[in-house]
Each structure stands twice: as structure tokens, then as C-alpha cells.
A and B are shown apart, each in its own frame.
Chain A
Amino acid sequence: MQSKPVALKILDIISILVLGIAAYLALVIAPTELVMGDVQRVFYFHVGTAWTALLGFIFSAVLSVIYLVTKDLKWDRIQVAAIEVSLVFFLITIVLGSIWARPAWNTWWTWDPRLTTAAITELIYVAYFMLRQGIDDPDRRARFGAVYALLGGISAPITFFAIRLFRTIHPVVIGGSNMEAEGSFSMTPDMLSVFFFALFAFTIIFIDLFWNRIRLGNLQEQVEQLKLKVVG
């Protein structure tokens, strides 16, 4: 049994702490938004998870290029880890957005450009794992996965820029405003502090889960190799 590196154990503890602090700041310290009320507080986790997930998807596209150049399966394992953690984070983003939309837009879901591109992105990466499940040969699986993740990576910037490129009711929080947006708000300095701490917290949590997932992939590879040795 492999023991966890001390640095990872420390990172695990830091992740739990920053998650707790981020929740405390969002629920207690951040002021209540006057128009939307308390539901606006989900915004801190919504943007925090979205930020890390979209970066994770773009990072996985970069890893695809590295794998296709080097043909080293190590990069494939790292890519799988990045996509898996991003997928979980993006699921949280979508669900939180839907919960926020109910009181803000009076609907759980609408086929707005941002929501549609986000749903497509999530489904693209669900299909990524389905594709991998269907291929037995590790090299072939890694090659197909890399090409797919490279093409899928395009969906992440499209999702991010959807609210800037198309007419949408989704508010633009960073870098600009949207005239058609419903449920937009201007952040007070307290809100901004909590918002940036949430971004920092989810970046740390992402790195921690990503590292843990890479170790799991390595362990899986070790088991597969030993299985072949024993059976062969």
C-alpha cells in the first residue's frame, strides 16, 4: 500500500479549511443582496466551481497535445484526472445556477446561450468517459481520448464567452455588463473579498482533488501491470 505524501496530506487539510472558510464568508460575512435576497449567496460557489472547471477543461486540451506528441500514457492519466474533477465541479456550477435561476428568473432552466453551452460542455465530457469505456487497448483509448478532449476543449472558451458574444439573460460578473441580463447586481467591497476568496478556495480544492485523482490513476495502472504479469 502506497502512503500519501506529506505535502498532499497538508493540502487535504488546507482544502477542508479553505472550503469551511469560504462557506462561512459566503453565508455569514457577505452582505445580503437587496433585490434577490439570500439566494445570491450561492453565486460565490457557482462562480468558484465554474472558474476551476473551465480552466480544467482547457488544461486537459493542453494535456492532449502533450500526450499526442510524447505518446507517454502518464499524460493520459493526468488528463483523465483533470477532466473528472472538472466534470464534478461543473456539475455543481450547473445545479447551483439552476437553483439561483428559480427565484431570479422564475424558472429552473431556460435555453439561454450560456446555459445551453454549459449543458453541452458537461455532456461532451460525460461522453468522453463513455468513449473511453468502449475501447480496450490502452494506447488506442489514450489516442482517441486525447483527440476528443482536444476538440472538446473548444467548448470551454465558447461557454465562457457566450454571455459576451450573444444576447443572453445571464449576468456578466467579470469584465463588462449585459443590458439584457436579469438578476445582475453590483458587488460591494465585502462581496468582492468573499468572491475572490471563493475563487482561491476552489482553486486549492481543485488542485488537491486533481492530485489525489492522479495518484488513483497511477495505482490503477500499477494494478493492471501486475495483473498482466501474474496472469501471463
Chain B
Amino acid sequence: MFFQEPTPDTSGYMIAGYVVAFVVMAVYVASLYLRNRNLNRDLAMLEEMDKSVIKVEPEQLKKKPVKSVTKPRRKNSLNGK
């Protein structure tokens, strides 16, 4: 009992360990939150785009008929008539 060494003070290492554990977990939770938020924004934007495409397309098709790229042929004057 008289020769027993005193317990060393290793509390600094203990604090460092718990700080690291909590920081790593907090960073991971934050990354999950941020990725989730960004994906929800993307989803909302894409849904909006998807709706607008469906709404506009049929109206635009009625109003703007597809123009012919080729010019209408002129009657050949050499053949007469």
C-alpha cells in the first residue's frame, strides 16, 4: 500500500477524447442536415420546372406552328406556265 504509485493526471487526454468524439458527430450531423436542405431545394426547383413544362408546352404548340425550314419551291420558268 505504501509503495502504490499515485494515479496520474490524464484528464487532459480525456477532455481531448470527448471533444473529438462530439465534434466528429456534430460535423456529421451538420453534413446530413446541409445535404438534406440542398436536396430539398433542388427538388422544389425541379418540381417547379416540371410543372411549368407541362403547362406551357400544349399552348405553345397551338400558337406557334413549326415553321418549315426549307423555302417553298418556285415554279420553274424554263418549263413555262
**Residues of chain A having any CB pair with chain B under 8 Å:** 1-2, 19, 23, 27, 32-42, 45-46, 49, 88, 91-92, 95-96, 99-100, 102-103, 205, 209, 212-213, 215-216, 219-220, 222-223, 226-227, 229-230
Main secondary structure on A side of the interface with B: helix
- Complex: chain A residue closest to B37, CB-CB: A1
Q: How many A-B residue pairs have CB under 8 A?
A: 100
- List of A residues within 8 angstroms of B43 by Cβ: 1, 219, 222-223, 226
Q: B20 contacts A92, CB within 8 Å?
A: yes
User: How far is A99 from B10 in the complex, measured between Cα atoms in Å?
Assistant: 10
Q: Chain A interface: which of B28-36, B56-64, B65-73?
A: B28-36
- List of A residues within 8 angstroms of B80 by Cβ: none
Main secondary structure on B side of the interface with A: helix
Query: What count of chain B residues pass the 8 Å CB interface test?
Result: 29
Q: A216 contacts B35, CB within 8 Å?
A: yes
Quote the shortest CB–CB distance from A224 to chain B (angstroms).
10
Q: A216 contacts B32, CB within 8 Å?
A: yes
Please provide the chain B residues from 42 to 56 with a CB less than 8 Å away from any CB of chain A in the complex: 42-44, 46-47, 49-50, 53
User: How far is A33 from B7 in the complex, measured between Cα atoms in Å?
Assistant: 8
Task: Given A42-B17, A45-B18, A227-B46, check contact A219 B10 (CB 8 Å).
Answer: no
- List of A residues within 8 angstroms of B53 by Cβ: 230
Q: A229 contacts B50, CB within 8 Å?
A: yes
Task: Given A1-B43, A91-B24, check contact A100 B13 (CB 8 Å).
Answer: yes
Q: B24 contacts A88, CB within 8 Å?
A: yes
Residue of B7, B9, B14, B21 near A34 (CB, 8 A) is B7
- Complex: chain B residue closest to A19, CB-CB: B25
Name the residue in B11, B17, B39, B47 with the highest tally of chain A Cβ atoms < 10 Å from its Cβ: B17
- Complex: chain B residue closest to A225, CB-CB: B46
- List of A residues within 8 angstroms of B18 by Cβ: 23, 27, 41-42, 45
Name the residue in B8, B13, B28 with the highest tally of chain A Cβ atoms < 10 Å from its Cβ: B13
Closest 6 CB pairs of A and B: A42-B17, A39-B10, A37-B10, A39-B13, A38-B14, A38-B11
For this complex, 14 residue pairs linking A to B, each with C-beta atoms less than 8 Å apart, are: A34-B7, A38-B13, A38-B14, A39-B13, A45-B21, A88-B28, A96-B20, A100-B17, A212-B32, A216-B39, A223-B43, A226-B46, A227-B42, A230-B50
